Homo-oligomer: A and B are copies of this chain.
């Protein structure tokens, strides 16, 4: 079923998942296309971004953002086109970056919607290298990690939209860059295409030893986006004065209970004390939103100069989104995963 101009397909949260989301988590519904009132516009979704943070919105555990209500449309960033506008500053045909969620159409009063212009070479990039993931990578690395030339930077999910950008910017800053990824194909891509100095497959035997060999001078900046067993292997390699921007912990997002003991919480704090380390969690637009123009200028220049590779995985059809999201949490994506919602 493809996008039509008369039906609004919606993926609503059917039930809160315990552990990994499954077929019962989201439900496809159809509604009439809404009518924009005066002061509103109608937006048609072309691309829907899939991002690990969405797992948090499915739960009602305390977090930095409210959960999606059961029965409500799942939230998500989108690239959309204006269909009808009763709003100054938005015209029919404009591409916009918006938060339509997992559906074909949404009405908006313009709050939080950014005009991308009428003519875009890569509309979907606003969800990736030029958008939230790219900005997350740039800000976490430059504002918290603050690596110096010659230092060693390590990042996991190295071929994902955040990890790949972290590593490439670190290379541009003169660092020794070690990636971690799942599988030989991704690791080869990180080294050959992205220019990482090394990339270690965390599913391979002897992972921790290989990581140590790849970072012979230890690790000065670890950009944390996965947690779990990967962090366990990184921790002993962290140097005195290491900085750890904490951007995500995707390996634990489906966990239903804490891992068995012993309890290493106090031990981690002891490591931070002995090694004089800094760990800082951040939520990109809340902490660094004011720096977006600086990021956008730098990234635009790098892309224009051919200094930045960006890999997308475009999946056709809104109905594929639930399955694609479950796979994303398992690390099955190779590059930035977006759903092409619009008509083929």
Residues of chain A whose beta carbon lies under 8 Å from any beta carbon of chain B = 62-64, 224, 227-228, 231, 240, 246-249, 252, 257-283, 286-287
Interface pair A260/B261, CB less than 8 Å apart: yes
Q: List 10 A-B contacts (CB under 8 A).
A: A62-B274, A247-B273, A252-B270, A258-B262, A258-B263, A258-B264, A263-B263, A269-B279, A271-B281, A277-B280
Beta-carbon contact of A264 and B263 below 8 Å: yes
The 10 closest A-B pairs by CB, nearest first: A261-B261, A258-B262, A273-B281, A272-B281, A264-B265, A278-B280, A259-B263, A246-B273, A279-B279, A265-B268
Of B62, B248, B277, B287, the contact of A281 (CB 8 Å cutoff): B277
Q: Do B274 and A266 touch across chains, with their CB atoms under 8 A apart?
A: no
How many whole Å from A340's CB to the nearest CB in chain B? 30
> Is the pair A272, B259 in contact by a Cβ cutoff of 8 Å?
no
The verdict on A280 contacting B272 (CB below 8 Å), with A262-B259, A266-B252 known, is yes
Q: Are A264 and B264 in contact (CB under 8 A)?
A: yes
CA distance A265 to B228 in the complex (A): 9
Task: Give Cα distance in the complex from A28 to B205, angstroms.
Answer: 52
Q: Given A63-B274, A261-B262, is A269 in contact with B240 using a C-beta cutoff of 8 Å?
A: no
Given A258-B263, A276-B282, 6 further pairs, Cβ under 8 A: A64-B240, A249-B269, A259-B261, A261-B261, A272-B280, A275-B281
Query: CB within 8 A of A258: which of B63, B228, B248, B261?
Result: B261
C-alpha gap A160/B262 in the complex (Å)? 30
Q: Which residue of chain B lies nearest to A280 when distances are taken between CB atoms in the complex?
A: B278
- CB A69 to nearest CB in B, in angstroms, measures 20
Q: Which residues of B contact A224 (CB under 8 A)?
A: 269
What chain B residues lie within 8 Å of A287 (beta carbons)?
A: 276
Contacts of A231 in B (CB 8 A): 266, 269
Distance from A294 Cβ to chain B, minimum over Cβ atoms (Å): 20
Q: Which residues of B contact A273 (CB under 8 A)?
A: 246-249, 281-283
Residue in chain B with minimal CB distance to A282? B276
Q: From residue A241, how far is it (CB to closest CB) to chain B in Å?
A: 8
Contact for A263 among B260, B274, B275, CB less than 8 A = B260
Q: How far is the CB of A60 from chain B (nearest CB, A)?
A: 13
Residue contact B276 to A266, C-beta cutoff 8 Å: no
CA distance A64 to B276 in the complex (A): 9
Q: When A278-B280, A280-B278, A282-B276 are in contact, do A249 and B270 touch as well, CB less than 8 Å?
A: yes
Contact of A278 among B64, B271, B279 (CB under 8 A): B279
From B246, B257, B278, B283, A269 is in contact (CB under 8 Å) with B246
